[in-house]
Amino acid sequence: MLRTHAGSGTAVPTMISPTIRIPLLLGLIVLVAAGGILFVQEQKKLSLEANLKLIKLKNLRIGVGSYGNKKGTGLFGSLVNEGKETVSIATLLVSFVDDTGQIVKTHEFSPVNRFSWLDPKPLVPGETKEFGFLLDDIVPESWSGNFEAKLIKLKFKD
């Protein structure tokens, strides 16, 4: 708030009203906290993008195989860790495509998963890990047999 001194025409600042001071301070704190959260999220996103480039998907293919004691049509391939950190969880997003090229369904798989009953081993630097997932219970009727796949999440061993 500004007040004008009588006769001088000069505006001089006065103290902020107590009724505005606390909400203004709280608003400033929220703004700074939100900025900090956005900064941290952006740093995590950049780090994930850099790390995703170091884990390579190779030889992805649809075929017949087994997973555990089940047999059927599956997605098979391998992951190569070209980074310097051990991966404890890697999540792959697979998009199933119809005859027109449209994505008809997506599904997440974790070829590296420390919680897996069948294969809880991490992916250490320099290692290649073969994987396979059965698709018979996942894919829709309209699936053409084509797919797109990309890594979307990584967790590193602490």
Q: Higher pLDDT residue, 120 or 128?
A: 128
pLDDT at 7 over 70: no
* Residue 84: C-alpha distances to residues 15, 80, 105, 125, 127 (Å): 56, 12, 34, 5, 11
pLDDT for position 95: 96
Instruction: Please give the average per-residue pLDDT across 98-103, as a whole number.
Output: 94
Q: Higher pLDDT residue, 5 or 40?
A: 40
Task: Provide the token pair at 63.
Answer: 């075929």
Residue 83 contacts residue 128 (beta carbons within 8 Å): no
Residue 48: count of CB within 10 angstroms of its CB: 14
pLDDT digits (tens, 9 = 90+) for 8-46: 556 555 677 777 878 888 888 888 888 888 877 787 777
pLDDT digits (tens, 9 = 90+) for 47-92: 667 777 889 999 999 999 877 788 889 999 999 999 999 999 999 9
pLDDT digits (tens, 9 = 90+) for 103-122: 999 999 999 998 877 788 99
Residue 118 contacts residue 68 (beta carbons within 8 Å): yes
pLDDT for position 48: 67
pLDDT for position 20: 83
pLDDT at 99 over 70: yes
pLDDT for position 114: 84
